[in-house]
Amino acid sequence: MHKVRDEAIEQWEMTIERKMRSEDCQRIFNLVAESGQTELINELIPQIVDTTLHHQLLTLEQENSIDISVSNDDKKVSLKALSDGLPGELYTEDGWILRFSNK
């Protein structure tokens, strides 16, 4: 969550705060600033990142040709087998966002 969710949110926050110097980031900053909707955009960024994570996890769960596993005591276990729904792992009160994200 930190390396994916938090860093994605931080990158967009930096864009909105004009801390990113690329031409594209400057263009986006100007659009947001001109719109007067900075607060709304900052509220949307984590939601958009979470929606993307949700769909990525759903795809990993539903796609039979993809099976990610973890090693535990010399035994490989499928992530699909460890979870009753990978996307749902994000949101619960003991979910990945609350446990591992700083944003």
pLDDT digits (tens, 9 = 90+) for 1-39: 999 999 999 999 999 999 999 999 999 999 999 999 999
Number of domains in the chain: 1
pLDDT at 36: 96
CA 50 to chain centre: 5
Domain span holding position 16? 2-83
Confidence tier at 73 by pLDDT (50, 70, 90): confident
pLDDT at 72: 78
Q: Measured between alpha carbons, how far is residue 63 from residues 1, 58, 60, 68, 91 in Å?
A: 22, 8, 6, 11, 21
In this structure, is residue 98 part of a structural domain? no
In this structure, is residue 95 part of a structural domain? no
In this structure, is residue 14 part of a structural domain? yes
In this structure, is residue 90 part of a structural domain? no
In this structure, is residue 28 part of a structural domain? yes
